A and B are shown apart, each in its own frame.
Chain A
């Protein structure tokens, strides 16, 4: 589904990503781990075109994404919940969700996508007409993910969903997300600093350090390899 090959991204003279390659199969969950500043967020931003790449290639089911505008990449079936969630607080919950699915408005599945989000996250249903500013952290995360799912994407990029959330909430969120991967064939790229929870649902794990891929392993294998875990993930 997703092929990233030799991707390099620079901010001025600083190399944020250096020759990064990975591939994700349809319906798989890939955890992208590493310390702060390792380049995890940059990787996601490069895939959705928010940041330009110096070299390399990113292909979604064979289609090259590099060089396309963000909104066009999204319209190819990619959804990206950015760091900080990106909930638009001036809009209501319903408006946020609608916005997520708007580009599919002409399709019959449009309304279905929005209702689906409410099914997945019932807590949002009761707050439909409230401004998103009134939501708690966990609810905003649900909204952000629900919004991303409203367009029934094929590839979902999640940037640090657990940030600021209680562990229980995080676990529930990830459980829902994993369910989607299995039921809908949704391919997931999950960036996390909280490595253990990410590893618990992931199929593959990638560890970035200073912009380079240092580990690319089966998630279960990485979990059980204590040495590797210690040196790169700190636990």
Chain B
């Protein structure tokens, strides 16, 4: 029983991290129909920035904030420099560019900071809780993970529903041409969108680093699981990102716990195929009619 509880809590913790990655993917997808494969690599970059601050004995919270801020900057720069010039060209070009960026950023990170695994100590204890006679594998840090992703989601919700910027972003995503006709500077909005998406990824990065060991390729599997989560939830749906993330996290956790960790990737693939066989566009997708 306690294995099940541990696995469940573990699955939720990782699940919300996948959800954060998924949220970034969904944001960019909604606005631009681009799958940003560099999402993970950019998060690795921002996490290394944080860790180099930690190395200089700067306190965790400052490093944490720096990672998030770096996420905003890096995301905006990426859109301006690499993606903007490709508007109007075939849609697969920016996707391939993002794959190129993935490779480039990971190798730059490796060149600057070295490829060795390293630790990342958070401000919270990672030691689980002792309840009665049982040790629950759920620590203060895990609570922090859950809390921060929830705060992120809430902040995004508020931003989109209740601010003018959010209104412009939604309009730009739903109807870009109409938005232009209403004076919305769609280009700037897209830059902001990328900045926010990379912020979400940066959060995922700092949250996962203490859990999996930091290395230039750290985010590779996380990106894949985040993509699985985003796709499961329906690429157009931020809510779907959260639900997809938790479902993916739980699924992988149970598979890993009961069938062995080498089956985790198989579990993810099976889960994805199973859901997509029933809902080819994800759980929260809206049925789309096609005009011929």
A residues with a Cβ closer than 8 A to B are 48, 50, 69-71, 74-75, 79-80, 82, 86, 88, 90-91, 95, 98-100, 102-103, 105, 147, 151
Contacts of A70 in B (CB 8 A): 177, 180-181
Contacts of B170 in A (CB 8 A): 90-91
Is B179 close to A, CB under 8 A? yes
Q: Given A90-B170, A91-B167, A91-B171, do A99 and B182 touch, yes or no (CB 8 Å)? A: yes
Using a CB-CB cutoff of 8 Å, which residues 154-190 of chain B contact chain A? 164, 167-168, 170-171, 174-175, 177-186
Query: How many inter-chain contacts with C-beta < 8 Å in the A-B complex?
Result: 61
Contacts of A79 in B (CB 8 A): 181
Q: Given A71-B186, A105-B164, do A99 and B171 touch, yes or no (CB 8 Å)? A: yes
Contacts of B186 in A (CB 8 A): 71
The contact string, 1 if C-beta is below 8 Å from chain A, for chain B 184-216, is: 111000000000000000000000000000000
Nearest 5 CB-CB pairs, A to B?
A103-B183, A86-B178, A70-B180, A74-B183, A71-B180
CA of A90 to CA of B174 in the docked complex: distance in angstroms? 8
CA of A48 to CA of B175 in the docked complex: distance in angstroms? 16
20 further interface pairs, Cβ-Cβ under 8 Å (given A88-B171, A99-B179): A48-B181, A69-B180, A70-B180, A70-B181, A74-B183, A75-B183, A82-B181, A86-B175, A86-B181, A88-B174, A90-B174, A95-B167, A98-B167, A99-B167, A99-B168, A99-B182, A102-B182, A103-B182, A103-B183, A151-B183
Q: Which residue of A lies closest to B183 (CB)?
A: A103
CA of A90 to CA of B175 in the docked complex: distance in angstroms? 10
CA of A86 to CA of B185 in the docked complex: distance in angstroms? 17
Contacts of A103 in B (CB 8 A): 182-184
Query: Taking the nearest CB of chain B, how far is it from the CB of A131, in angstroms?
Result: 12
Contacts of B181 in A (CB 8 A): 48, 50, 70, 74, 79-80, 82, 86
Dominant SS among interface residues on chain B: helix
Please determine whether A88 and B184 come into contact, CB atoms closer than 8 angstroms: no
CA of A86 to CA of B168 in the docked complex: distance in angstroms? 15
Contacts of A99 in B (CB 8 A): 167-168, 171, 179, 182, 184
CA of A69 to CA of B181 in the docked complex: distance in angstroms? 10
Query: Taking the nearest CB of chain A, how far is it from the CB of B170, in angstroms?
Result: 7
Q: Given A91-B167, A95-B167, do A102 and B174 touch, yes or no (CB 8 Å)? A: no
Q: Given A91-B167, A102-B168, A105-B164, do A82 and B178 touch, yes or no (CB 8 Å)? A: yes
